[in-house]
Amino acid sequence: MIRIEPRAGTGRTRRGTSLHRKTAELATRDESQSVLSNTDIAELLAQQAERETGILSRAFRRAARSAFLWPKEVSDLLAQNRGLTELRAVGPFMEKQIRNWMEKPPRRAKTVPAVRQDFISLAEARRRLARRPAWPKKLHGDLQMHSRWSDGSGTIAEMADAAKERSYEYIAITDHSKTLKIAGGIDERALKAQGAEITKVNIAIRKSGPDLTVLRSIEMNLNPRGEGDMSPESLVDLDLVLGSFHSSLRATENQTERYLAALRNPNIHILGHPRGRIYNFRIGLKADWPRVFAEAARLDKAVEIDCYPDRQDLNRWLGGCTPSQDPR
């Protein structure tokens, strides 16, 4: 699912749960193990990008980010004598560089910059899921999806088809709202027209049989005071409203108050992509998360876990830091 932003905070910070650990061990595996994982390769690519300039630097940066999206470990592909150019952002030049590292792994950096910490690759996630086949079965739907109405690439019917393939029971169409112009945000009028299209898609689904419901929703842009940009009347007919911050995402002060204000906005059901972090690009906001989660639980509201590989927002250790408070 989603993303956020800040304001000069008055909230308390808890050192023990600080978001910005300065350093972390690069390798999660034994140092004596020499096989590089995709996560290790991403870090090497990111470091190489910092040594290069211009187009080359951008190519390495892009490859580093893409490494989290590669569906298989590079080591497995090489073991099967497969080339690497089937991977996103890898051309012949990049393949050669990666092969060199695989043959002779460079010394690992002791630390990874905070902006690249705590991301796991898609290949690793799949490996973990393969060990726990019960987990994927618990996934029944997706409550954050963009369609062509804003900045998505598929129609609502296409999104529904993709959901059926995954055996989802529900999906929510959460196109951006009007003030997020860069993402083609929609206004009240378009939202209403979209509602008519969703109704048609739901009727067609029911006729064809599968148990899937397309929910009406929106990813409403919030200002730093937690206020949305759509008229409250336009939201009344929606099944869900997601509220997300898209500005002031580089603030370094504690942002707890901003999150609490968003959760207390009566029009909001879900807080979207809470930290606004992006791998090797933006570190994301900090807040007193136990306090934010406690407020979400008190108000019976949800906090998104955006699993897009280069976002992972909330990140896993943060999402898991207060299980007793049960943020949904």
User: Rounded to the nearest whole angstrom, what is the least distance from the CB of residue 38 to Zn ion in the complex?
Assistant: 26
Nearer to Zn ion, 95 or 151 (CB): 151
> Is residue 20 helix, strand or coil?
coil
Smallest gap from residue 178 Cβ to Zn ion (A): 14
Q: CB-wise, 3 or 116, nearer to Zn ion?
A: 3
Q: Output 3 or 286, the one with its CB closest to Zn ion.
A: 3
Q: How far is the CB of 261 from Zn ion (least distance, A)?
A: 17
Determine the Cα angle at 312 with ends 238 and 48, to 5°.
140
Residues in contact with 92: Cβ distance below 8 Å, sequence separation at least 6, in sequence order: 85
Number of H helices, E strands in the chain: 12, 7
Closest CA to 216 of 229, 204, 201: 201
Sheet holding 219-222, edge to edge: 219-222, 242-245, 270-271, 302-303
- Contacts with Zn ion by CB under 5 A lie at 2-3, 244
Calpha distance 312→308 (Å, rounded): 6
Q: What burial class does residue 298 get, using C-beta atoms within 10 Å of its C-beta: 0-12 exposed, 13-18 middle, 19+ buried?
A: exposed
119 vs 310: CA distance, rounded Å: 7
How near is the Cβ of 5 to Zn ion at its closest, in Å? 10
Give the nearer residue to Zn ion in terms of CB position, either 274 or 319: 274
Cβ proximity to Zn ion, 67 vs 285, nearer residue: 285
Smallest distance, Zn ion to C-beta of residue 301, A: 17
Q: Which is nearer to Zn ion, 3 or 301 (CB)?
A: 3
Minimal distance in Å, beta carbon 272 to Zn ion? Answer: 6
- Type and span of the H or E element at 77: helix 74-79
Q: Which residue is nearest to Zn ion (CB)?
A: 3
Q: Report in angstroms how near the CB of residue 112 gets to Zn ion at its nearest.
A: 26
Across the beta sheet with 141-145, what order do the strands follow? 141-145, 170-173, 213-216
CB of 285 to Zn ion, least distance (A): 13
Q: Is the Cβ–Cβ distance between 56 and 109 less than 8 Å?
A: no
Nearer to Zn ion, 2 or 123 (CB): 2
Nearer to Zn ion, 61 or 275 (CB): 275
**Rg of the chain, C-alpha, whole Å:** 21
List Cα–Cα distances, 53 to 19, 61, 113, 135, in angstroms. Answer: 30, 11, 19, 43
DSSP class of residue 107 equals P
Residue 184's nearest CA partner among 140, 149, 226, 233 is: 149
* Nearest CB to Zn ion, comparing residues 212 and 292: 292
For the CB of residue 234, give the shortest distance to Zn ion in the complex, in Å.
18
Residue in 212, 210, 244 with CA at minimum distance from that of residue 227: 244
